[in-house]
Structure 1
Amino acid sequence: MSIIEPNSLLSVPTGPLRISKFPPSITLGLRKPVLFSLIIPTYKERDNIKNIVEVLSKLLDRSIPFDYELIIVDDDSPDRTWEVAQSLIPQYPQLRVMRRRGERGLSSAVVRGWQAAEGRILGVIDGDLQHPPQILLQLLRAVEEGADLAVASRHVDGGGVSSWSFVRRFLSRGAQILGLIFLPNVLGRVSDPMSGYFLLRRDCIVEENLHPVGYKILLEVLGRGDIHEISEVGYVFSERAEGESKVTWSHYLDYLRHLLRLRLTTGHLGRFRQKFNFPLARFLRFGAVGFSGVFVDLGVFHILRQIIGLGLTRSTILSAEVAILNNFLWNDIWTFRDISRWQKGGKARLMRFLKFNVICLTGVILQTLIVNFLFNVLGINQYLAKLIAIAVVVVWNFWVNLKLSWRVTDVNK
């Protein structure tokens, strides 16, 4: 199927964020590969887009004429940036435009652009002219000379920022230091892992399942790509001349989420997960639900013991049953929602609850034995005994539910 629509807009690739060796247009013989594909992700850049297309086109026409493409990926900007870009295509034949509706986010926009790209070398540059286009040729030369990845850096010779405030400098450096703590073997490979201006060989990320979060796509490339030789070129980050900054506090939260995801899915943890096919993301959701159940369990346990005055065993059983109901509801609508949505109706939900309850009640028996042993035999504080028992039973509940309750092995993730 052609990726060119009649209105000259690129069709948006769907499915996993995975780069194929050849895009559909080349596989079907509709287009020929080019040396270089540069992605320009945009959102509300109407005032900048014509300028950056003109500057980049002149630059690349002189160095690699007809052997490149500029791909603007616009997230359906309310100022209709995509429409302005589309109007430039007759004047700049190497320009291609994609309008995304439904998906949002800079990192995923870049990957969608790469999926449609025909270049053997892939790159990304901001659409607001804060990345100096002149550096592009140095990055391209570095990859042509053997680098797998060429990064424009603010932290090597010739690099810097123009007029950042102290707070912005502090946040930028703090984020980098935090990244080095989480992923020293990934972020430590470059001086500016926060850079959004870089080029890489297509082969380095072919058939990799990418899971970017937020707007720092370079983290994903470094964490999941087959990157060996890296080159860095200094550049000065400029203040934008037109439009408004897109950086908000939510971007910093996305950055933290991205670091955590890479930490859990790459390196030793990632290899463990692949080797044993361990559903880590699902386990973390199950654990978060279980954590909420701890407070429900302890709260009800306290009421039954201290206010109502029930005995230890009965309080343990009843508080655990209330927590089981809490945990089932959250697991059904969150942890296993991809499965439960295909098992609709009250009867199906009741059956899931009964299975979940049987498994967890077995855990309650185990928990009761542990609590009584720790409290009555070892003399451990009753609340500490309860916490220890809960921790043991959480592992039990997840493992058995994984195998029997929602039948996760029957669903392809």
Structure 2
Amino acid sequence: MTMLLPSPQSPLQLAVIIPVLNESANIAPLLARLEAALAGIVWEALIVDDDSPDGTGDVTRRLARADPRVRIVQRIGRRGLSSAVIEGMMASAAPLLAVIDGDMQHDEAVLPQMLAALVDDGHDLAVGTRYSDGGSTGDWDASREKMSRFATALSRRLLKAEMSDPMSGFFMVRREAMMAALPNLSSIGFKILMDLVASSPTRLKIAEIPYTFRNRIHGESKFDARVAQEFAILLLEKTFGRFLPVRFLMFAMVGSLGLLVHLAILGGGISAGLAFKLAQTLAVIVAMTGNFFLNNVLTFRDMRLRGGRLWRGLLSFYAVGAIGAVGNVGVGNLVFKMQHVWWLAGLAGVAVGVVWNYAASSLFTWRVRK
């Protein structure tokens, strides 16, 4: 079979990173729009697909066979917009990296303006903004508008640069600026721009390009409670991550809620006439079960267990918790014998139990699938 080799061309200038989940109907029209918007620019598109069940990966591969500028990175067993963007950026050799959603709600026509801001004007980062003069959120309802502006106000407090729209998912960055921030990136949630700016070791020179946010034509919106949850997690990471991993903090917070549940069940059981041993056993089971399901949707949301793996994970979590309880009691008893301070002994036991439970459940219950 004769292989067709690509003809010589100018050096690659721009990679457009497109993180997607269930966007099979949008890939072809988005690429057509990029073709029109980027005329005269040497570009490539990297579609990073989180193993969409709607066949987005197959659609992209079919298009890529006809156009060598189109590439796919299909991720199995992991999800998340920020981590998808980072993987797409690292899979390209382009000196300039643009990020655009796969739902065609961002205006690709302003990409040349972003490129000019970086190449001609010397900026490190060009951000598509909905909140400066000339920009708009389009047909958003009042509640979504208020939520977005509130999140924007919070995020601006964390940043080393002033931006009108730090929650934007539409931007272009120089590779050297991205690589400098890379060691500090959290890869959490949906707001990679905020993570990038907050993680940069130096103050970035930023240009803002206004655009109007468009309505989705195909598919379903990804804007839901999970976006708000992951935004809150990113805020925690950038505020406390230098001291403790945010996942550990969340695990400990869930454990604190579990302690309250435990005490409530124990007290209620005793008030109802149950023997202490039975009430304690019931409290332990209920608290551990609640902790497991909360950790599954919050702490380990990117490795969430489903189906049969969910129930096997629950049994594993019970086993981990039982061993942690033994360590808790053992260390607490040892400290009490040495110091004779009951609350210090109790805290020492709890600390050992939390660290063990977190480490062991990360290794055995929510381990990354190979």
Q: TM-score, normalised by structure 1?
A: 0.65
Q: CA 1:281–1:363 in structure 2 vs 1: closer, same or farther (change >3 Å)?
A: farther
2:305 matched to which residue of 1?
A: none
Root mean square deviation of aligned Cα: 4.5
Which residue of 1 is the match for residue 162 of structure 2? 189
2:308 is equivalent to residue 356 of structure 1: no
- Specify which of 392, 397, 402 is matched with residue 349 of structure 2: 397
State the Cα distance separating 1:87 from its structure 2 match: 2.2
Give the TM-score, by structure 2 length.
0.72
Greater CA radius of gyration, 1 or 2?
1
What number of residue pairs does the alignment pair up?
A: 332
Task: Report 1:14-413 matches (<5 A).
Answer: 34-62=12-40, 64-65=41-42, 68-144=43-119, 145-180=121-156, 184-186=157-159, 189-206=162-179, 207-226=182-201, 227-265=203-241, 270=242, 273=243, 281-282=247-248, 285-286=251-252, 288-290=254-256, 292-293=258-259, 296-297=262-263, 300=266, 353-362=325-334, 369=341, 389=343, 395-397=347-349
User: 5+ residue gaps in structure 2?
Assistant: 1-9, 301-312
**Of 50-59 and 208-217, the range deviating more from structure 2:** 208-217
What residue is the counterpart of 2:310 in the other structure?
A: none
Structure 2 SS opposite 1:161: coil
Q: Is the 8 A contact 2:118 2:126 kept in 1?
A: yes
SS at match of 2:64: coil
Equivalent position SS for 1:71:
strand
Mapped partners of 2:358, 2:145: distance in 1: 49
Q: Is the 8 A contact 1:74 1:82 kept in 2?
A: yes
Measured against aligned partners, the alpha-carbon deviations of 1:167-224 in whole angstroms (never above 9, x if no partner) come to 22122112223434xxx13186311011110011222232425333332221221222
Change (3 A) 1:365 1:323: farther
* Residues 221 and 214 of structure 1: CA distance in aligned 2, closer, same or farther (over 3 Å): same
Q: Deviation at 1:254? A: 2.0
Q: CA deviation at 1:326?
A: 7.7
CA contact (8 A) 2:126 2:208 kept: yes
Distance 2:264 2:28 in 1: 61
Q: After alignment, is 184-193 or 226-235 more displaced?
A: 184-193
- In the other structure, the counterpart of 1:21 is none
Contact 1:41/1:106 (CA < 8 Å) preserved in 2?
Answer: yes
SS at match of 1:88: helix
Give the AA of the match of 2:48: V
Q: Aligned equivalents of 1:218 and 1:349: distance in 2?
A: 38
**Using a 3 Å threshold, how does the CA distance of structure 1 residues 166 and 34 change in structure 2: closer, same or farther?**
same
* 1:285 to 1:33, Cα distance in 2 relative to 1, 3 A: farther
Instruction: Read off the aligned partner of 1:200 and give its amino acid letter.
Output: V
CA distance in 1, matches of 2:333, 2:281: 11
